[in-house]
Amino acid sequence: MGWGRLIDISMTIEEGMQVWDNLAHKEPAITNVQNHDQGQPHESQLNLNVHTGTHVDAPLHMIPGGDTIETVTLEQLCGPARVIDLTGVKDHISKEDLLPFAIRRGERILFKTSSSYSERFDPDFPYLRVDGAEYLAQIGVAAVGTDALGIERAQPGYPTHRTLMRSNVVIVEGLRLRHVEAGNYTLVVAPLKLTGIDAAPARAFLVGD
C-alpha cells in the first residue's frame, strides 16, 4: 500500500534541547561508552526522562494508582486525526476557542499553537484550560495532542490532565507542528514499549495526501 506523504512531528532528542521549565536535571544526557579508537564497536548510552520531548502520558502521571503506560493502546494513538490552528490563542485554550471546530466523538485532535514556533521553553505557553478539557471529555475524543511540553501548566490539582485521563482521553505532548497545515491526516504515534511507569517517549508522524 502507498503511504502518501510522511510528515515527522516529533522533537529531536539531543543534549541542550527544550525541556520542562528549563530544568537541568530534565535534560537528556548522551554518553559514549565505547568507540572505534578502543577497538570496539561505537556505542552510546542515553539517560532520558520519559517525559522528554514528544511523549505519551499515562494516567499514573497525575492520578495516584492510575493506569500505567502499557495500557495506552496503539489503536488510540493511530488513525484519523485533525490538526486545528490555535496559533492566535494567547495564554489558554478555552471551550469557547474549541467550539468553532465542531469536534466530534472519537476524534484525535492536535493543537497547533505558538509553541511550535519556538525551540525554547516558554513558561507562558498556551495551555488547555479545564473548561476546554471538560468539553473534550464530554464529547469523548480519543486523544489530544499539543505542541507544548505540557497540556497544562502547573495548575493546582492538575485539573486538565485529570479530567482527560479520567475520561480515557490519551494525552500526547511535545509535538512539532510549525510545518503542518491545519486539516485532516492519518496520525501515527509509537511510544517506546515500556511498562509499569507514567509515560513513554514517542516518535510521531502524520500521513498526508
Where does residue 143 rank: exposed (0-12), middle (13-18), buried (19+ CB within 10 A)?
buried
| Of the candidates 201, 205, 193, 168, the residue with the CA atom closest to the CA atom of residue 83 | 205
| Of the candidates 149, 146, 123, 114, the residue with the CA atom closest to the CA atom of residue 133 | 146
- Strands 5-8 and 199-208 turn out to be antiparallel
Contact 153, 125 (CB under 8 A): yes
Q: Is 179 a catalytic residue?
A: no
Q: Which of 61, 92, 161, 179 is catalytic?
A: 61
Main-chain dihedrals φ then ψ at residue 56, nearest 5 degrees: -110, 130
Catalytic positions, please? 61
